[in-house]
Amino acid sequence: MSKAANRLKTMKRTLDKVAHGKMRTNIPAGMAAAGPPLGPMLGQRGINIAAFCKDFNERTKDIKEGVPLPCRVSVNADRSYELVIHQPPATFFIKQAAGIQRAAMEPGREISGKITLKHIYEIAKLKGSDPTLATKTEFELCNMIIGVARSCGIEIVKDLDPVEYGEFLKQRKVIEEQQRKELQEKKEAKMLRTS
C-alpha cells in the first residue's frame, strides 16, 4: 500500500473514535443532578457531569424550579460541550394556562380544560424564540399550538368566564379521581394475574 492510503486509514480510525454526537433531553430547571437519568447519559459521552450540572443550574437560576426544559447538547472531540436550552414544551404552557395537572386520557371524547385564543397567541410568541421554530410564522405557530391543545383534550374558546370555568374544574377533578381509581384497579388486576 502507498503512504497516502495508510494515512487515509489512520485518519478514518481517529474520526470513528471521535464521533460523540448530540444529546437531546428534558431537564427540570435548576434541578440538574449527577444521578440517573442525566448522569449516565453524560458519562457515556465523556462529559464532566459535575461541571455540566453546575453550568446548567447557573443558566436556569432565573426560571422557576422544576419547569421541564428541552436541551440540546453537542459534544466536541475534546470532551467540551455546547449547551442549548429551549423554552419549555408547548404542553407545559398549555396545561399552565388551563390550570390543570393532567391532560385528557381520551382526547376528542373528553374535555380536560379550556383556554382562550389570547392564551394561544401568548404561547406562540414564547415558543417563537426557540431556534427550531424560528422559521415559522406566528400563524403557523398558533396552528401548531392549537393542534397540541386539541391532542391534550383542551377546548379553545373566545371568552372564558372564571366562575363557570371554576365549576368546570371542580367537575373535572371528580372525573380524574374516577379515572385514577380505574387505573389503579387495572394495575392491581394485572399484578394478580402475573403472580
Average pLDDT of the residues in 29-34: 90
Looking at residue 56, what is its pLDDT? 94
Residue 18 has pLDDT above 60, yes or no: no
Which residues have C-beta within 8 Å of that of residue 7, sequence separation ≥ 6?
Answer: none
Task: Express each pLDDT in 61-103 by its tens digit.
Answer: 999 999 999 999 998 888 889 999 999 999 999 999 999 999 9
In terms of residues, how long is the chain? 195
Looking at residue 132, what is its pLDDT? 86
Q: 27 — phi, psi (to 5°)?
A: -125, 130
Average pLDDT of the residues in 36-48: 88
C-beta separation of 117 from 158 below 8 A: yes
Share of the chain above pLDDT 70, in %: 90
